[in-house]
Structure formats: structure tokens, C-alpha cells
Amino acid sequence: MQSYQKLLLANKAWAAEKLRIDESYFEDLASHQNPEFLWIGCADSRVPADQVTGTQPGEIFVHRNVANLVVHTDINMLSVLQYAVEVLKVKHVLVVGHYNCGGVKASMDNKDYGLINKWLRNIKDVYVKHQSELDTISDEHQKFDRLVELNVTEQVRNLAKTTIIQKAWAAGDYPHLHGWVLDLNTGLIKTIMEILPDDLNAIEEVYRYDLPKKELSEVMH
């Protein structure tokens, strides 16, 4: 049996088990989705968003790319973000990195990786921004772990710089922004940072857009 055929068999077993527990499971699942969370995570196969958080289908909206980046020119990511915030009305956006991330590791050396160089450039920029701190860390593994954390921090800040997030805040809405890192050795998630709604002090003034805010009476009705 081919490996892909095992996936199809596993799918049938999964569907049958869901129906055994609840005959209307798929009918209900297909009717709508109302996730509270948007997960922006790494494409690494060891970091499945639903399994590490214990969430079920329909509970978490997911976007994944190499090294969980929030890039201001990435139309794919921005489209997911806009849909999640403006249509699904998620309350929390989670940027989730993980220690031992291959993308972050590759950004720390000077090898030519081809096309992905252009993507990893974003992490190199994070390194340069925090080089004074990183250069004080003599242990390369600890430096690697710290860059993973700093990368998550910068991607959360990049979220706050978007008009998508700022417009939602100006309208009196969520989301709450979170930066997490998963430790693959323990399976546990570490909270790195968070930005509460409308906390524009978390980013430099030049990134703050002049957007009309709703009056409190409008928000409450």
C-alpha cells in the first residue's frame, strides 16, 4: 500500500468515528464556521495548530508559511488576515513560532538557498535590528532560540502596523494580538508578548494611521 493511500484510509476511519459519536457532525460543521482565533504559524510539519492547542475543526482559522512571517507585501497572508478580522471577527490573532525552526536557522548563516533567500531576508532584518543583544549571546543554540523569540515579537508588531488591525481597533473591535513559541522538546507553548486592542504605543508613531474612531455609544449598540 502506498503512503498516500494510508492517508485516505485514515480519513475514512476519522469520518466514521465522528459520525458514530454524532450523526449530524458534518452537517453542522459544513453549515458555518465561527472561529475565535487566527493562527499564523510555521509550515513545519511538527507544529499542527489544532493538535497542540486541543482545538476542533471550526475553532481555529489557520495560515502557515516558512518561519511564521507577517510580511507587508504578502497578499496571501494579508487576505487571510482581512477575512479573519473583518468577516469572521476573530478575537485573537496568534503568531506562533517554534524553537529549532529551520527557516530561522537558515537566516543565521551566509549560504545561498536560492529563491527562499528573499523570504529569509525578513528574518535577517530582525537579526540586524536586535544584533546588539544577539551578539552578547556566546552560545549558538541560545542565540538561535532568542532569534526565534525575537522573530515572533517582530511579526506581532508587523500585525499591529497593518491597516486591517488598526481599522478593527478604530471600530472598537478586537483582535488581541499574541506572540507564542512552541517548544518541540516539551510540547508546551511559551508566551512571548501580546498587544491589546488599540495599543498603538506598541509600534512607532510613523506606522500609525489616522483612522476615524467610533463613538462609544456607537460601539455599544
Tell me which of 22, 28, 46, 50 is the catalytic residue. Answer: 46
Give catalytic status of residue 183 as yes or no.
no
Could you tell me which of 46, 56, 53, 142 has the C-alpha nearest to residue 102? 46
Q: Is 72 designated active site? A: no
Clarify whether 44 is annotated catalytic: yes
Q: Among the options 20, 22, 32, 44, which is catalytic? A: 44
- Cα 167 to Cα 163: distance, rounded to the nearest angstrom: 6
Within the chain, strands assigned E span 37-42, 60-65, 92-98, 176-183, 188-195
Residue 216 backbone dihedrals phi, psi, to 5 degrees: -55, -35
Is 28 noted as a catalytic residue in this protein?
no
**3-state SS class at 192:** strand
Take residue 125 and report the three cell numbers written for it.
532584518
Which among 42, 63, 157, 173 is annotated as catalytic?
42
Respond yes or no: is residue 42 known to be catalytic.
yes
Which strands form 188-195's sheet, in the order they lie side by side?
60-65, 37-42, 92-98, 176-183, 188-195
Nearest to 79 by CA among 88, 57, 31, 211: 88
Q: What grid cell was written down for 45? A: 510539519
Q: How far apart are CA 149 and CA 147, in angstroms?
A: 5
Q: How far apart are CA 151 and CA 42, in angstroms?
A: 12
Q: What are 16's three cell numbers?
A: 466514521
Task: Give the residue numbers marked as catalytic.
Answer: 42, 44, 46, 98, 101
